[in-house]
Structure 1
């Protein structure tokens, strides 16, 4: 990694875990570890300012790994048939390699799915779960109600085939321009709520983070299968977007874990990515007329992503867990960047209370 991508006070390291070689950022000298897990089409670089703010409190040592296929970590195929378990197992191997004591765990977007899976598979090791603009526990696309029922048995309308092909080409070519499907334009239009903008320096760092996504058959966006069901494509068995297909991802088991860490769920009121009206959801795009042939709301409604999260967390609480929800007004998909001071206060107060 070029040093120009790292902020003063942030160090980049690598560790060989029992599963893969992982790069990570670290800062702080506090007694309490916090691990931050990034989302899809991003890397640990998106966390740097927030890491420094956490470290400045004096309470925390902060770690942000690059997950497989992102940033500077090793790229290995993602077995989508396991849902996001490849990532949760990688995360477990990471914290074991660093020999971390019980830690707080924050997951942003896809990272939220990863840390929910981690809590299911490795109970009793995370002090709290902080879900930042988390993906739905029933994945992305292809489900139709609060319980996450798949719209079609083959989960048509979810997975690798739903990703904009021009955006994939932009990633492959390392495009740093401002075309309509470039990483830069996508970030400013959807990661943040317009007209929010970061400084030119940060923008270049974040574009580099998005472009670190490895476009390979087994990583991003994943393979696709033809389907007789609208919109004519179904998820394959490899890659990150297929791992989020409801055919393979169902995290309702979170409700039944014995050791239930307290959960903080915070999200932007104007998130266009994880939303009940997501601009990346096939059902909602069909409703808008963007994708032809939509069979209607009775058959293929927009995925109620936030409703699904809230419904699961209400069940989690009813079964003996606890959660808090905070909606940040005038905020998109990246609260820790768009509303850093508010999110810092929210997260530190929650972690300090547990």
Structure 2
């Protein structure tokens, strides 16, 4: 079980050149930027911030579309780059010259956008259960090849609308499988784990802004199975391979390449090679009718894609390490905080040691 947060964090509202951002902060020293995932906020990082060692300054902002940051629309056609530009504006306002980045789930995709845009100032990257560099949904192989030319099976139309409706309604009761609390405790963590900070984390989940131009975003009809293709607004469209893959390619092409630590749970059902949130997996299981079969639409091999991407990253001069935590789901830093913190602190200190050698 996670220990409750004992000491207050700084809670800052910072006006940047792009928007007003709400930021959790702790400590002084080298900057570590923590980027949260979808259907959450910076609150998920509270315990990680609390235990950051001396000599480090942790910053955990709410991304646009989440938490207490100013509510501006996300242009999904830029992939993750609206978030990247927001974070770069925040770092500029705070006069941060170099920094480390830690990204969870959607935040992992944002990390690749930061590498693509600002590699020279990034000292290290830690990816925690990151989505595939090629985007979420609708791709077939290790290289992120789309199943269909219009990227059907990705984007805003793939989200359960009942789940989004209940987020908008602020539902806290565990009514059924579509309740936000049920989704969090079933998929964010490996059951039967339940965090001591459950109420805080549920509030964080419920902070996501919902609507046709927000979460989950818009979509267009497709003649290809499963009948929906990405639109142009909101976070889930931003993660579509239609827009996200170009950002990953830019990260591969950049120099220098900061060292990467990849941490994931072996029981993650959100990001895996058989994700229960992927239409290929759901079609194969018979949960969605009309599946055209594995030859045309296999489950997206998300973990395999990340590993293949990192192997190419290394071939072009980068370095990386993968750590798989047994019995852990999609949120290692909540489920096994001490183990995760030890991995993160070692990665940060190793980077510092190499720079000072």
* TM class by smaller structure: over 0.9
Give 3-state SS (helix, strand or coil) of 2:120's partner: coil
Match of 2:45 among 35, 44, 47: 47
Q: More displaced, 41-50 or 7-16?
A: 7-16
Q: Equivalents in 1 of 2:73, 2:281: separation in Å? A: 30
Q: CA deviation at 1:182?
A: 1.3
Q: For 2:102, what is the secondary structure of its paired residue?
A: strand
Counterpart of 2:355 in structure 1 is none
**For residues 94-113 of structure 1, what are the structure 2 equivalents within 5 Å?**
94-113=90-109
Aligned residue number for residue 336 of structure 1:
333
Residue of 309, 326, 330 corresponding to 2:323: 326
Q: Deviations over 1:310-335 (max 9, x none)?
A: 00000100111111111111100001
C-alpha displacement of 1:252: 2.5
Aligned partner of 1:72 in structure 2 is 68
- Counterpart in the other structure of 1:161: 157
Q: Is the 8 A contact 1:10 1:25 kept in 2?
A: yes
Verify the 8 A CA contact 1:6 1:45 in the aligned structure 2: no
Size of the alignment, in residue pairs?
Answer: 345
Give the deviation of 1:253 after TM superposition.
Answer: 2.5
Query: Residue in 2 aligned with 1:130?
Result: 126
Preserved CA contact (<8 Å) 2:7 2:50:
no
Partner of 1:28: 27
2:11 equivalent in structure 1:
12
> In the TM superposition, what are the counterparts of 1:277-296 in structure 2 within 5 Å?
277-296=274-293
Describe the shift of the 1:181–1:9 C-alpha distance in structure 2 as closer, same or farther (beyond 3 A).
Answer: same
Please say if residues 5 and 50 of structure 2, whose CA atoms lie closer than 8 Å, have aligned partners that are also in contact.
no
- Offset of 1:6 from its aligned partner? 8.1
Task: Provide the residue aligned with 1:236 in structure 2.
Answer: 231
Q: Is the 8 A contact 2:267 2:329 kept in 1?
A: yes
Per-residue CA deviations over 1:105-145 (Å, capped at 9, x if unaligned) read: 00000000001111101221111011110110111101110
Write the mapping of 1:232-271 to structure 2, written as runs, cut at 5 A.
232-250=227-245, 251-271=248-268
d(CA) in 2 for partners of 1:21 and 1:114?
19
- The answer (yes or no) to whether the contact 1:43–1:212 under 8 Å persists in 2 is yes
Q: Which residue does 1:203 correspond to in 2?
A: 198
- Matched-pair contact (CA < 8 Å) for 1:153–1:247: no
Q: What are the Cα deviations for residues 226-278 of structure 1, in whole angstroms up to 9, with x where unaligned?
A: 00000111111111100111111111232221111011111111101010010
| Residue number in structure 1 paired with 2:79 | 83
C-alpha distance in structure 2 between counterparts of 1:301 and 1:279, whole Å: 13
Query: Once the 2 structures are TM-superposed, how far is the Cα of residue 217 of structure 1 from its aligned partner?
Result: 2.7
Pairwise CA distance, 1:218: 2.2
Q: Tell me which stretches of 4 or more aligned residues in structure 1 moved more than 6 Å.
A: none
Distance of 1:304 and 1:196 partners within structure 2: 26
User: Root-mean-square deviation (CA), in Å?
Assistant: 1.2
1:280-331 superposed Cα distances (whole Å, 9 cap, x missing partner): 0000000000000000000000000000000000010011111111111110
Partner of 2:214: 219
Mapped partners of 2:11, 2:167: distance in 1: 23
Q: Structure 1 CA distance, aligned partners of 2:139 and 2:72?
A: 28
Provide the C-alpha distance between the structure 2 equivalents of 1:217 and 1:125, rounded to a whole number of angstroms.
36
Q: Secondary structure at the match of 2:300?
A: coil
Structure 2: gaps (5+ residues): 352-357
Q: Is the 8 A contact 1:69 1:214 kept in 2?
A: yes
What is the TM-score of this pair, normalised by structure 2? 0.95
Per-residue deviation, 1:60 = 1.2
- CA deviations on 1:150-191 (whole Å, 9 max, x unpaired) are 111111111101101110110110000102211111010000
